[in-house]
Chain A
């Protein structure tokens, strides 16, 4: 599914004014430069046995929310006295996963469903626990996932409070009783996703057609919903715009939508002490916390470092 990396990918490509192709296309960072730079670090790291002396390289997707989570991990590790090398805003999963596999990166915040689909494109939706254990199987040697957080950042069928109360909607299945043509604003790939119109029909008996709005649940998608151009929108569940616009995320009792709980993927360089520090962050990271962290970035325009240090001290983690 790769929602987050894809949306940055899209903007990067458009921003560059051309349509690049292939997995390495990435607007915001040069993957080869990253490779050279951090490859050197890893070389010096492995020369002293990859032990505790070398810096832990933390990467992030080119997605603001992902960078905030990476920064939470970074500061939590630093609080344990470890040295951290920040390698943020690496575009696509196709670019950074090989970096993790080669040992050039050691930690990267991921999302359960997206990461599983990267290794198993046939993966079907399931509970977070099931996806987590499937991931443990699917990851290549040398990589593992730590525990996942309650916080999730996944696709949704979201509607306005007015529409929900007018038709007594709480779950996606309730849409079957709505006696009008339903449209959902979403990126056009939503059309071919398992939780797209075909999934809604199959799992919940709901007919819905896609109105493509290509800003990945961003302001245009939200506005199309609020304006009433569409009745539904695919907005990522950690988006502060949901609360700000009094929107309602319809429940998905059948787990049609792939769960996207935050889960760190780490290399062998992460020992028990380091893993414990990261796990402590994950244990505190609730769904509401992630929305609030994002809000501090999108609404208050704070830097990821400031947001992370404030949140870690609020939670007593540093």
Chain B
């Protein structure tokens, strides 16, 4: 093993033994991505409908913005610990924390997506006899789609970078490498785990940025 922990981390990653088995990198990475996807999905089921409603009607906007701001300020490790004391160890507690972490970005993405539609365009749609549901689904959402995806992007990057905390309370994911490395002063392992999380976050960020560009309606400015 190399003296320099960063080079040691590269040695660690290059070892073929790390790339197989139930605690190998592919399995841990899949777990990590699974937790992230589940957290963002559950959060989206809650936050996107609420955000669309707030954006479309303009009601409860202050409440939504305020709640999102408060949720952003919650320390996730504290939430994981709190939820784990309530529901026990396992995946439920970190998942609840990831959902809480993902909601603000998704909520903000959803209502700003709807709000971004030009009021004159929305009025024109209404004047043509579109129902409110049609206005939302055929005008506001398509026009704001890249902002909506932007919310998903923000939430995903935050959750993938935080999903290591699942390992704090008995679950898997790349956090296992980080905690085990930290606990046993195996810094190459810890850094290798961190590097893997960083790479995942960058890949997901780029992929969703691409999706954001693709979903921007023609004639609008791509992000």
Binding site for B on A (CB under 8 A): 2, 6, 9-10, 13-15, 19, 21-23, 185, 187-189, 191-193, 211-215, 219-220, 223-224, 227, 229
Query: Which of B139-195 touch A at CB < 8 Å?
Result: 167-170, 176, 178-180, 182-187, 190-191, 194
CA distance A213 to B61 in the complex (A): 40
Q: How far is the CB of A21 from chain B (nearest CB, A)?
A: 5
Tell which of B89, B183, B185 touches A224, judged by Cβ atoms closer than 8 Å. B89
| Given the contacts A215-B81, A220-B84, A191 and B180 also touching, CB distance less than 8 Å | yes
Q: How far is the CB of A309 from chain B (nearest CB, A)?
A: 33
Q: How far is the CB of B143 from chain A (nearest CB, A)?
A: 36
| Given the contacts A215-B168, A229-B90, A188 and B185 also touching, CB distance less than 8 Å | no
Q: How many A-B contacts if CB must be within 8 Å?
A: 77
| Given the contacts A211-B89, A229-B89, A224 and B190 also touching, CB distance less than 8 Å | no
What chain B residues lie within 8 Å of A192 (beta carbons)? 180, 184, 186
Q: How many residues of B contact A (CB 8 A)?
A: 25
Interchain CB contact under 8 A, B88 and A6: no
User: Could you mark each residue 92-123 of chain B with 1 if its beta carbon is under 8 Å from any beta carbon of chain A, else 0?
Assistant: 00000000000000000000000000000000
Query: Which of B175-223 touch A at CB < 8 Å?
Result: 176, 178-180, 182-187, 190-191, 194
Interchain CB contact under 8 A, B184 and A212: no
Binding site for A on B (CB under 8 A): 5, 77, 81, 84-85, 88-90, 167-170, 176, 178-180, 182-187, 190-191, 194
Interchain CB contact under 8 A, B81 and A220: yes
CA distance A191 to B22 in the complex (A): 15
Q: Which of B90, B180, B182 has the most CB of A within 10 A?
A: B182
A–B pairs, 17, beta carbons within 8 Å: A6-B183, A9-B182, A21-B5, A22-B5, A188-B176, A188-B179, A188-B183, A192-B180, A192-B184, A192-B186, A193-B184, A212-B170, A212-B179, A212-B180, A220-B81, A224-B88, A229-B88
CA distance A189 to B180 in the complex (A): 5
Interchain CB contact under 8 A, B168 and A214: yes
